[in-house]
Amino acid sequence: MTIQKKPLGTLGVEITGVDVGRDLSGGNGDNLFGEIRQAWQEAGGLMVIRDQSIDQQQHIDFSRRFGPLFHDEGQPPLQDTVSRYLHPDYPQIYRVSNKVDDKGQPTGRKGAGTYWHSDVSFRDRPAMASVLYAIQIPPYGGDTIFADMAAAYDALSDGMKAMLAGLNAVHDFAVAAATQYAKPVVIDKDFDGANQCLHPIVRTHADTGRKSLYVNPGFTSHIEGFTVEESRPILDHLYRHATQPEFLYRHAWQPHDLLVWDNRTLMHYAVSDYSADRYMERTTVIGERPV
Ligand code: SIN
């Protein structure tokens, strides 16, 4: 079988003609996955596979083809805050939802990711890919915006590139914890040392060799060796630069979209502009230590 590919903005690809729950388990599964992964990387790190009808186990199996998942046996969990939003039978699945159940309890994390961020960048081995499955979407609103941090890096001046080379930044979950969306739900354990780390401001992609900016307003606290005040104007400049319209793609969800993004080269922002029900399930693939 051959998959159909169409560009998704300047940083991604739309894939149709494949059923990841069925087609990847056959004898040709490895070749087909290789083709899908290559299309994803060549496009710039974002991929939507349309019209998927998968259960939680199929979602996990597909995601594991990219690498180990947070909450897999022997692998670290996500930050403690999200533990109450994990699927009760599949801890690898983080539920992102504004819905309440018939007892009035949340069915997932409301307002997750309503700030620019790269998933789990506050860990030594941050998220490589996130795989988000749209089970219920509102009639309008609830888009997710992506910023191409490789294109943003390429467009910096030589002077700025030279200044950033060799600099590291501190990533700390406490930065996100202070936002209006996270503040009401964070718990003390989120502030422990496992949720802080140091990464190069410019990282080199392990598969493509491309350089990307690797700082984000959600989790980056300051530049190593600089005070928070000294870091602020430099980081704010990089965020303004990276979120110019030329580097963005806005995903308007369709039901049963399976979206895969590469956190090593994209930041994202979940737009909280809806009140109707939105229910999604996400797995998070553990990546390598950024270099
Ligand atoms: C997230 O940051 O993983 C949530 C994205 C979304 O809900 O659109």
Catalytic residue of the set 119, 172, 257, 262 = 119
Residues with Cβ < 8 Å from 271, sequence gap 6 or more? 114, 141, 142, 143, 144, 145
Q: What's the pLDDT score for residue 109?
A: 86
CA-closest residue to ligand 1 atom 7: 270
> Is there an atom of ligand 1 within 6 Å of 280 CB?
yes
Distance CA 52, CA 276 (A): 22
Band of the pLDDT at 91, cuts 50, 70, 90? Answer: very high
Using an 8 Å Cβ cutoff, are 290 and 199 in contact? yes
Share of the chain above pLDDT 70, in %: 99
To the query of whether residue 84 is one of the catalytic residues in this protein, the response is: no
The third-level CATH classification (topology) of the domain covering 4-286 is Double-stranded beta-helix (3.60.130)
Q: What's the pLDDT score for residue 1?
A: 66
**pTM assigned to the model:** 0.95
For residue 86, which of 102, 74, 69 has the smallest C-alpha distance? Answer: 69
To the query of whether residue 264 is one of the catalytic residues in this protein, the response is: no
Instruction: Count the helices and strands in the chain (H runs, E runs).
Output: 7, 15
> Is there an atom of ligand 1 within 6 Å of 131 CB?
no
User: How do the domains of the chain map onto residue ranges?
Assistant: 4-286
To the query of whether residue 119 is one of the catalytic residues in this protein, the response is: yes
Write out the H or E segment, with its range, that includes residue 23: helix 20-23
Distance CA 166, CA 152 (A): 18
Share of the chain above pLDDT 90, in %: 82
Distance CA 165, CA 169 (A): 12
Q: Which ligand 1 atom sits nearest the alpha carbon of residue 270? A: 8
Q: What is the per-residue pLDDT across 33-66, written as a single tens digit (0 to 9) for each?
A: 999 999 999 999 999 999 999 999 999 999 999 9
Which amino acid appears at position 13 of this protein? Answer: V
Q: What's the pLDDT score for residue 180?
A: 66
Q: What's the pLDDT score for residue 16?
A: 96
Distance CA 238, CA 148 (A): 12
Residue 188 predicted with pLDDT over 80: no
Residue 227 predicted with pLDDT over 70: yes
Ligand 1 centre to CA of 237 (Å) is 24
- Mean pLDDT, range 114-130, rounded to an integer: 96
- Mean pLDDT, range 142-170, rounded to an integer: 98
Task: Give the position of tokens 């992964």.
Answer: 37
For residue 168, which of 125, 197, 211, 195 has the smallest C-alpha distance? Answer: 197
| 156 vs 186, residue with greater confidence | 156
Structure tokens at 228: 């928070």
Residue 190 predicted with pLDDT over 80: no
E-only strand ranges, the chain: 4-8, 12-16, 46-49, 94-97, 127-136, 144-148, 168-172, 196-200, 202-204, 211-213, 220-223, 248-251, 258-262, 266-270, 279-286
> Please, what is the average pLDDT of the chain?
94
For residue 49, which of 79, 11, 87, 21 has the smallest C-alpha distance? Answer: 21
CA-closest residue to ligand 1 atom 4: 113
To the query of whether residue 262 is one of the catalytic residues in this protein, the response is: no
